[in-house]
Amino acid sequence: MKGAEGIENPAFVPSSPDTPRHLSASPAQVEVSSLNPDTQEADSQPQEPPPPPSQDRSGPQSQPEFEEGPCGWGNFHPECLQRCNTPQGFLLHYCLLALTQGIVVNGLVNISISTIEKRYEMKSSLTGLISSSYDIAFCLLSLFVSFFGEKGHKPRWLAFASFMIGLGALVFSLPHFFSGKYKLGSVFEDTCLTARNSTNCTSSTSSLSNYLYVFILGQLLLGTGGTPLYTLGTAFIDDSVSTHKSSLYIGIGYSMSILGPAIGYVLGGQLLTMYIDVAIGQSIDITENDPRWLGAWWIGFLLAWVFAWSLIIPFSWFPKHLPGTAKIQAGKISQAHQDKNSSIQEEDENFGKSIKDFPTALKNLMRNTVYICLILSTTSEALITTGFATFLPKFIENQFGISSSFAATLGGAVLIPGAALGQVLGGAFVSKFKMTCKNTMKFALFSSGIALLLSSVFIYAKCESQPFAGVSELYNGTGELGNLTAPCNANCNCLQSYFYPLCGGDGIQYFSPCFAGCKNSVTTRQPQSYYNCSCVGKKAEITSAAESFAFEAKAGKCESQCANLPIFLGIFFLTLIFTFMSGTPITMSILRCVNYRQRSLALGTQFMLLRLLGTIPGPIIFGIVIDSTCVLWDINECGIKGACQIYDNVKMAYMLVAIILFDYVFHEESTNFSKVPIRHEKIS
């Protein structure tokens, strides 16, 4: 019936003058025709035959568009492959590729960055460029891949994605094979020495840093492979299943991309316990506790290369559309946002096949108010989640006085399961209660509001900073605050560029054994112990390690007296669940509020803006805010300020909550889209 077609969104109507058009009526006329029973009866009479199939452009599921077929190549269609020619079979391979991508990009790369810095003598700013290269490639390609891939063979695009992800992993590992054998440096003496070798300020650049461009190339290739995965792959899943099952399937797929980093961190951490040149069979006499140790970071990338390329053939087997796609699409309801002032216009089937249509398609998409609000909502949440994913271990380490490795383990144990569970639950709720587009957006707003309330845990669980000599405590009543040098260590020639925290028997933390005035150490005990420390409060001097087991100081930070860590982890785990519960519903809302033929472009635009406005600036903003709470900076031999060593814990907690509140206000304003009227129409 004509009256049931609804008002078409101008965001999806090409403005080309050559676009074929039917006679259009005003919105008021359409409303009358859809509600008047007499009109409905007239419309149902057979005296007006329907237009021929070649002219029927009323919906995206016209029969010629859905090229369903068996699984295989050409005329080769083995019966065994047809078992995978289902939405479940495709979802399995999609999850494996998303898992591989997450393992490499957000797992192995991140955990290998510090090792790459040391091995190839790079600054943190350069390794930061390596990390950003993936997002740069994604932003540059997402619009074009999603635009041209929408009408293409999506499974073969994912085969291309598998090839590029594998190639990127292989290229990323190549510097290890061309840079030669790793040479150990000399041991650094961290105790108090009256005569220390002078360290000159040099700014020479090693040729090893030229491998920077190889790492960037690897990341660019990985970004190229990730683009069709999260745009065309998501659209293909939505093609193949019913509306309410789609949210569950997409939630499962996205949860795999979150579990990937967890596996990457575990795998990469285990590989870093192996010496970097393990393939050569070189025997060494140092352990992992030695600062000169470098792990075999490159092995994981080779494994990912093999696994990613093993998915190329399975993806190339799938047909352009899975069997039953046309029937599924025939029963779907379009919930695209409609403009009441627009007229009914039909869409050209050939629109989108030429590069000339790209600016028009993008412009039309940007006119969709609901879609723009959804994008702003996702970018604001991405800014927060990526910031916390980057700096949560640092927050835990400084607030609760634990080691960086244990803080990273706790952070990963909370972040990964919480995010994955939130994604699955969000999709499950939408599927279980069969939410409409509008109710899905309200559900996303509700879950974000709960997450905001739970985020107050940062203030409740805050801990006072540990007493630190020269920063918040004096050296036995001597020296001055803000200066690490005091009379007790003035003759030790200590370097502020070597941060090796030490906990004294007096309960005060010291910058290093040298600044604590320690002259001797015992390396046979773990943690390493020090004695004869002139700056640590003591009753009598210890002349040898055998005379007493009451050593004056031990390596590592002092144990925090704050007992809020379990409470913080528990509440923050719930915060993550409610935060990520809105992820899948918002993705489903985007797929429902735009025209069928522009879903891939809508996802590509979303991911591009999500990175430009969310994941790229998020860690930068969090880093600036956290740096503003620093009370002690690392200063190298050249007098250049480096990383922060000590933070004001209370100020850090309040600053993070301030970011969350500001982001939520912006998120709430963006989610007022739920008040925008949405017209439902049958896709026929």
Token pair, residue 249, equals 């399937």
Per-residue pLDDT tens digits for 126-158: 777 787 788 888 888 888 888 888 878 889 999
Task: Describe the strand order of the beta sheet including 529-533 as a list of residue ranges.
Answer: 509-510, 502-504, 553-555, 529-533, 518-522
Per-residue pLDDT tens digits for 38-59: 434 334 344 444 444 433 333 4
Written as one string, the DSSP assignment of 387-422 is HHHHHHHHHHHHHHT--HHHHHHHHHHHHHHHHHHH
**Confidence label for 14 from pLDDT (cuts 50, 70 and 90):** very low
Per-residue pLDDT tens digits for 624-677: 888 888 888 777 667 667 667 788 888 888 888 888 887 777 666 665 554 444
Distance CA 606, CA 249 (A): 19
Q: What is the pLDDT of residue 524?
A: 67
User: CB of 383 within 8 A of CB of 614?
Assistant: yes
Rg (the chain; Cα; Å)? 30
Find the angle CA(247)-CA(248)-CA(253) to the nearest 5 degrees. Answer: 95
Token pair, residue 588, equals 């489903």
Over residues 392-408, the mean pLDDT reads: 76
Specify the residue for token string 């489903």: 588
**Confidence label for 348 from pLDDT (cuts 50, 70 and 90):** low
- Inform me whether the pLDDT recorded for 17 exceeds 80: no
Q: What is the pLDDT of residue 364?
A: 79
Over residues 482-508, the mean pLDDT reads: 83
Lowest mean pLDDT of 1-15, 174-188, 380-394, 661-675, name the range.
Answer: 1-15
297 vs 415, higher pLDDT:
297
Burial of 391 (0-12, 13-18, 19+ CB in 10 A): buried
- Inform me whether the pLDDT recorded for 307 exceeds 70: yes
